[in-house]
């Protein structure tokens, strides 16, 4: 079974610093294609590169947000 995916462009609006020791800061990302009321998401601001090294997003960074699902979790779009 394959996977279905959609990639959307976004921008890092701000970094939200945590006050709890040991917890990751959050990156607030605005997704351009999302509905206005649901445009912002917040994720832990920890990325991993190809060698397993850790990195953090900067405010203003351009990002791609990918939604991915197994084919079994999707339905075929009807043609109009």
Judged by phi (left if over 0) then psi (alpha if -120 to 50, else beta), residue 58 lies in: beta
Q: How far apart are CA 48 and CA 68, in angstroms?
A: 18
Instruction: Find out whether 40 and 29 touch, Cβ atoms under 8 Å.
Output: yes
Residue 9 located in a structural domain:
yes
Q: How far apart are CA 14 and CA 40, in angstroms?
A: 11
Give me the tens of pLDDT residue by residue for the chain, a chain 80 residues long: 689 999 999 999 999 999 999 999 999 999 999 999 999 999 999 999 999 999 999 999 999 999 999 988 888 888 87
Residue 80 located in a structural domain:
no
First CA to last CA distance, the chain: 26
Q: Count structural domains, the chain.
A: 1
pTM of the predicted protein model = 0.84
What is the domain range of residue 21? Answer: 3-67
């Amino acid at each position: 079974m394959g996977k279905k995916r959609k990639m959307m462009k976004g921008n890092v609006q701000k970094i939200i610093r945590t006050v709890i020791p040991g917890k990751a800061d959050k990156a607030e990302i605005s997704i351009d294609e999302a509905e206005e009321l649901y445009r912002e998401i917040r994720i832990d601001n920890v990325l991993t590169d190809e060698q397993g090294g850790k990195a953090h997003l900067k405010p203003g960074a351009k990002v791609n947000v990918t939604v991915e699902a197994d084919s079994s979790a999707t339905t075929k779009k009807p043609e109009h």
